[in-house]
Structure 1
């Protein structure tokens, strides 16, 4: 009990990214039961680096790939909560020089390809999908990594290039964007320009006539992948400090409930805003689509996507074997 005879509440720090599914938590419309949260909004690149290197926050978003890599090496600092605030078809995040004869990903064989960080989850997905669907082996590409060891996720998880993979360090005097514009790179697996303490690229490469997206039709590529596999890739989850959870075993499910509520609020608002277009449209299919949930939380509805990511990590030589979900996720949430 506190000095005023009211039940004491846990005070915890939270690092979170700025996206529609987290807005209700950030602005206080949704709270975590029993917790007074001290919230910091950060870009994911910086957030993950700070958590992996310094463990500054009690609760945060986390790179799923870096979490699995750390866990495979015996790091038990964090327990994952099955909240997945970010999804995309990451293979469509790439860019290529239009003068290098690159039509499909298999044309990257022998090419010089940039990547902010080799072990980041979006890069894992892209390389895995390129191998499964287009036959591109990671060992057939010369990779150029932008992040330096001291400001990388891998710097805190003991990253070493997998056997047979060639990775060059981009000098700190330049970056992926500059090298792509100058023709020193043929492509990049993804491209990040948001200001943060980790990523250095800033050029808007979409304005360069010599550079274009990896796929001629990114929308079609993503839709085809979803239709063929049923997978909508995830790259972030939530984590809570294990020592804090052990002292407060109720905390994990309370976090999950809060973020479920935040997502529901966002989706409800989206449906409300779309109602005029739905009711005035001759296409009745919009209604069921708006009522669906393409971004479910929990383990049951995400086991396939998570186990696919774990398989990719092992196949790419970043973990010795696929990480078991039971080893990293909250025990009480495994059946949810």
Structure 2
């Protein structure tokens, strides 16, 4: 009587004698198939602010194909310092100004993604002391002006608009910076004040808020009180009787600027660690698609809410139709003008030694998006 011995457990069996197949071989085939074809998602950490255009990614409603994201909602001020100094996250929101400065300084750890979740007419956020004699933007010349961080994108935009719209150049003001070098974006990018510009360091025992209230500062380009690891101000300047906005009607000034220039200033983009982009280039467009889906959800939810206001007469039909238009879009094509303007401001203000090219900042396979 012949005996059949299976000499290999899986794969093509080797038989001692005869040609009959073993049931053991058949049983193992499905397990092999599952192991061989099971798709493993890449796990990536992502740090970004929480807002209407990122909520769908934070809460898991939108998941990039082939990627398992581990999201952390982090205040932008703190996030950029952590990324520039420690590289804490695989993917993150990033100051556009600091990104092009870092790249100009030879820091090539990041690849840019043209995703822009926050915008604002930043120059409308300038605050002044009522007793400073400042009645118009031109009156900022010769004044002591606070800034959380000289190189931050919001400050870049504000200085650029003051220069191009009102003739006030950075060298016309004396700046006082709140963030200390070891906990700042500039400390990680090697920031030095541009030629002809005075930037003083605010002592640790003081901050922009306290110096505005004491009269040591006459204005501040912007003001941050949100709790985070690097900003120190806490006073509520907006409601203080001695403080006022430079532009009393910020909405009207924003409309004027937008209608004249067509610019709705972006603040932050997104970045991916270069080593990840090089090892897995497909993640870039997959992330872009995910952010576009999250943006679509934001637009759809806004449109649904608008219908209620139109139906009850709180918003007229024309206003409702306008609110349903996708004003904010990601990608290079929709944002080339605003990105090139920011790069031009950076070069003019001496933050970058040459004009940054978008092709050198953003991933090549996103340039047509």
Fold match (TM-score > 0.5): yes
Aligned equivalent of 1:49: 81
Aligned equivalent of 2:108: 76
Structure 2 residue 153 is the aligned partner of structure 1 residue 129: no
TM-superposed CA distance for 1:277, in Å, is 1.3
- Quick one: which of 309, 324, 347 aligns to 1:314? 347
Where does 1:1-336 land on structure 2 (aligned, <5 Å)?
Answer: 6-281=38-313, 283-336=316-369
Q: Residues 97-128 of structure 1, C-alpha deviation per residue, up to 9 Å, x if partnerless?
A: 01111111110111100000000000000000
For normalisation by structure 1, the TM-score amounts to 0.98
* Conservation of the 8 A alpha-carbon contact between 1:87 and 1:233: yes
| Separation in 2, partners of 1:4, 1:214 | 64
Greater Cα radius of gyration, structure 1 or 2: 2
* Conservation of the 8 A alpha-carbon contact between 1:2 and 1:8: no
TM-superposed CA distance for 1:291, in Å, is 2.2
Aligned equivalent of 2:16: none
Larger CA deviation: 194-203 vs 279-288: 279-288
Q: Residues 40-68 of structure 1, C-alpha deviation per residue, up to 9 Å, x if partnerless?
A: 11000000000000011000000000000
Structure 1 unmatched ranges of 5 or more: none
TM-superposed CA distance for 1:137, in Å, is 1.1
For normalisation by structure 2, the TM-score amounts to 0.89
| Separation in 1, partners of 2:331, 2:34 | 34
How many residues get paired? Answer: 336
Q: Residues 221-276 of structure 1, C-alpha deviation per residue, up to 9 Å, x if partnerless?
A: 10000000000000100100010011111000011100110111111111111212
| Separation in 2, partners of 1:3, 1:149 | 51
* Conservation of the 8 A alpha-carbon contact between 1:125 and 1:233: yes
TM-superposed CA distance for 1:280, in Å, is 3.6
TM-superposed CA distance for 1:5, in Å, is 5.4
| Separation in 2, partners of 1:205, 1:20 | 26
Indicate the SS of the match to 2:301: helix
Cα 1:203–1:4 shift into 2, 3 Å:
farther
TM-superposed CA distance for 1:283, in Å, is 2.8
* Conservation of the 8 A alpha-carbon contact between 1:97 and 1:210: yes
Q: Residues 122-161 of structure 1, C-alpha deviation per residue, up to 9 Å, x if partnerless?
A: 0000000000000001111110000000000010000000
| Separation in 1, partners of 2:333, 2:72 | 30
Structure 2 unmatched ranges of 5 or more: 1-32
TM-superposed CA distance for 1:288, in Å, is 2.7
| Separation in 2, partners of 1:38, 1:3 | 25
TM-superposed CA distance for 1:330, in Å, is 1.3
Indicate the SS of the match to 1:99: helix
What root-mean-square deviation, in Å, do the aligned CA atoms of Structure 1 and Structure 2 show?
1.3
